[in-house]
Amino acid sequence: MTLAVNEHDAVLIVDVQKDFLPGGALAVARGDEVVPVLNRYLALARRKRLPVFASRDWHPGNHCSFRARGGPWPEHCVAGTPGAEFTPALELPPDAGIVSKATREDADAYSAFSGTDLTQRLRNLGVRRLLVGGLATDYCVLGTVRDARQHGFEVLLLRDAVRAVNVKPGDGERAERDMREAGAVAVEIGDLDR
């Protein structure tokens, strides 16, 4: 299968932040493996002049998802801290659109669409289809892809550029199945034209 990208496509990279990478506060196993693959998609975006967006988990210090407040997660991605930074190994273009999410202390927001202006920004650019990769398959990628479909965007799930938390074994595979059932098409770098 060779798929052509077109002027209505954009790349959306979900939460490739230091805290989700090995050594980080909420490290995703082998999360670092997505970075060189995402860099290949970013090179394609540059060649084809596709817009690039990058979401980031951007929590207040007392976020409700943290264990100190009875939530499921260790403290992670507190706004402005080193752990919340994108890894410098990710070759984001200088004009990448940054989407900060889950910024309110009493609501979690796994999706990059939740409580953000992402839909409007994409519509303003005439985007119809999103190429989505990043971390983590079973949380923020899943939430983002579901919402993208709900908002009427086509989705190419970059399956070689996602990794799962897998709190329960199989969560990542289940998430991928859910995303396909929601209409996302799973692709790999070799499926896209250069």
Question: Which residues are annotated as catalytic?
Answer: 15, 101, 140
Q: What single-letter amino acid sits at 41? A: Y
Asked if 113 interacts with ligand VGL (CB under 6 A), we say: no
For the CB of residue 193, give the shortest distance to ligand VGL in the complex, in Å: 30
CB neighbour list of residue 66: distance below 8 Å, 6 or more residues apart: 59, 73, 74, 75, 76
Asked if 15 interacts with Zn ion (CB under 5 A), we say: no
Segment interacting with ligand VGL, rule: CB under 6 A, options 30-38, 44-52, 136-144, 182-190: 136-144
Asked if 139 interacts with ligand VGL (CB under 6 A), we say: yes
DSSP state at residue 154: E
For the CB of residue 139, give the shortest distance to ligand VGL in the complex, in Å: 3
CA distance 10 to 77: 25
CB neighbour list of residue 59: distance below 8 Å, 6 or more residues apart: 65, 66, 76, 77, 78, 79, 84, 102, 103, 105
Binding site partner of 139, from ligand VGL, Zn ion, none, Cβ cut-off 5-8 A by kind: ligand VGL
| Kind of pairing between the strands at 154-163 and 185-187 | parallel
Binding site for ligand VGL (CB under 6 A): 15, 57, 65, 73, 135-136, 139-140
Binding site for Zn ion (CB under 5 A): 57
